[in-house]
Amino acid sequence: MQLRDAPTTSAPKVPSAWALRAWLLRPAGAVPVAVLAVVLLARAAHVALVHPQGGMDNAFVVHAGQVWLHGGAPYADRRFLYLPSAVLFAAGQALLPLSVLRVAAPVVCVGLVAAGWWCAVRLFRVPARSRFAVLGLLGLVLCWAPVGHLVDLGNWTAVAVLALPAALLLADRGRWDAAGVVLGVSVAVKPLLVPVVVLLVLARRRRAAAWMVLLPVALSVTAAAVMPDPGGFFTRTLPFLLRGGDALMRPFDCSWPAVLPRLGVPRVLAGALAVAAAAAGLVCAWRRWRRADAGPARLAETAAMLMLASFLLSRPSYEHYLVVVVPLLLASTVTADPVTRSPWFWAALVPQVPDFTFPCLEAPTRRAFKDVVTLSGLALVLAVRCVRPTPRAGGPERDAPAADVPDPVS
């Protein structure tokens, strides 16, 4: 008589999604880190070789700093679009030798983007040396055009790319006043993150909001006191912005008030639609904040919604502004319920894949049509997420059991 096989118990199967998550959260190893370092250095070296002042946009602010150091009025140049406080930072760059500036500017720009990604992944408790952190930054640099454009231009938007996730990381850890200081310094350099003050108001963090507002005001007043014709910011710069810039800027502006008239929509109606869309985005951000769920997603998604709503309305809005928002949302990918779960999120990013072409949109002056698709798509995807009901506890978004998939985040 043959003995029957002894009954065996098989280990519970781990869902493939959690297996992939565990793999992404493990240390990356030396080779991916080395590849990332080479790519980042190559990106900065390319700009240093091509642009003597670290990028076209950086050249404008350096020129303004040079004018001020020589006793002139920075706002005589209409393309200096920053607050008076920014002149102090521009003057610091203008003091550098040209040989140092052309290398330092792109290296700092790349460093700010990398540091912003690090803060974003740490906000979601992802290890900085994980495969996801390393490969995610590599993918952003190689596969998403706005990052390359930001570095090529040397645009000061890179400061906001670091400041927003850094401030949210501080806020998530309860250091709201420090977050307000970081945001205030960023606004002093470039007022891109002004909409985030609404987040501080929603969170009822008055001192943090005061830091964010008063710091750039104090620096601007100080700079204006030693600047010829500081009123040029109100008499020349603001009217220039409200008119949508000049013929060099308008074709690249992807805000609704700029793009819709190019599609035949009357300007008044285009402005009204942009105001309505921005107001709807503000309501969605408020709704997202009221859904007081635990975790950093509440901070990240509310801030991102506020920024996207402002990009729809403000002039000018450029595609590299999206580098402030998209890495912050991508960093949530390995969490239980990320916004990147929606296929429409990825569809909105497709027009920004390098060398992506579409009939009749290959000319650089028509790039804004692709850019507005990405901007509007991301805003719509995030708006829908912000107003959705709170996910049920114990649903498919619940964490995997610790015995099945160890979580290296902690």
Q: What is the mean pLDDT of residues 3-7?
A: 45
Calpha distance 20→66 (Å, rounded): 52
Instruction: Give CA 237 to chain center in angstroms.
Output: 24
194 neighbors 180 (Cβ within 8 angstroms): no
pLDDT of residue 380: 96
Residue 403 has pLDDT above 70, yes or no: no
Return the structure tokens found at 106. 């792109």
Residue 155 has pLDDT above 60, yes or no: yes
Range with the poorest average pLDDT among 281-290, 376-385, 389-398: 389-398
* Angle at 220 (CA atoms; ends 217, 226), nearest 5 degrees: 145
Return the structure tokens found at 236. 């020349």
The closest alpha carbon to 296, from 189, 169, 191, belongs to 169
The three state secondary structure string of the chain is CCCCCCCCCCCCCCCHHHHHHHHHCCECCHHHHHHHHHHHHHHHHHHHHHCCCCCHHHHHHHHHHHHHHCCCCHHHCCCCCCCCHHHHHHHHHHCCCHHHHHHHHHHHHHHHHHHHHHHHHHHCCCCCCEHHHHHHHHHHHHHCHHHHHHHHHCCCHHHHHHHHHHHHHHHHCCCHHHHHHHHHHHHHHCHHHHHHHHHHHHCCCHHHHHHHHHHHHHHHHHHHHCCCCCCHHHHHHHHHHHCCCCCCCHHHCCCHHHHHHHCCCCHHHHHHHHHHHHHHHHHHHHHHHHCCCCCCHHHHHHHHHHHHHHHHHCCCCCHHHHHHCHHHHHCCCCCCCCHHHCHHHHHHHHHHCCCCCCCCCCCHHHHHHHHHHHHHHHHHHHHHHHHCCCCCCCCCCCCCCCCCCCCCCC
Residue 357 has pLDDT above 90, yes or no: no
pLDDT of residue 3: 42
Residue 123 has pLDDT above 90, yes or no: yes
pLDDT of residue 363: 73
Residue 2 has pLDDT above 70, yes or no: no
Contacts of 16 (CB under 8 A, 6+ apart): none
pLDDT of residue 23: 84
pLDDT of residue 308: 97
Most confidently modeled range among 150-154, 159-163, 356-360: 159-163
Question: pLDDT tens for residues 217-272?
Answer: 999 999 988 888 888 888 888 888 777 767 777 888 899 999 999 999 999 999 99
Of all residues in the chain, the percent with pLDDT exceeding 70 is 90
User: In whole numbers, what is the pLDDT of the chain averaged over residues?
Assistant: 86
Q: Quick one: pLDDT band at residue 392, thresholds 50, 70, 90? A: low
6 burial level (CB within 10 Å; 0-12, 13-18, 19+): exposed
Q: What is the mean pLDDT of residues 352-363?
A: 78
- Report the predicted TM-score, pTM, of the whole model to 2 decimal places: 0.89
224 neighbors 84 (Cβ within 8 angstroms): yes
Return the structure tokens found at 6. 């002894």
**Residue 97: left (phi > 0), alpha (psi -120 to 50), or beta?**
beta
* Angle at 238 (CA atoms; ends 236, 240), nearest 5 degrees: 65
Between residues 188 and 227, which one has the greater pLDDT? Answer: 188
Q: What is the mean pLDDT of residues 264-291?
A: 94
pLDDT of residue 40: 95
pLDDT of residue 397: 42
pLDDT of residue 402: 32
The closest alpha carbon to 168, from 47, 297, 3, 335, belongs to 297
Question: pLDDT tens for residues 13-32?
Answer: 545 667 878 888 888 889 99
pLDDT of residue 394: 46
Q: What is the mean pLDDT of residues 131-151?
A: 93
Return the structure tokens found at 117. 């990604």
pLDDT of residue 141: 94
Residue 8 has pLDDT above 70, yes or no: no
Calpha distance 73→403 (Å, rounded): 66
Question: pLDDT tens for residues 30-68?
Answer: 999 999 999 999 999 999 998 877 888 888 888 888 888
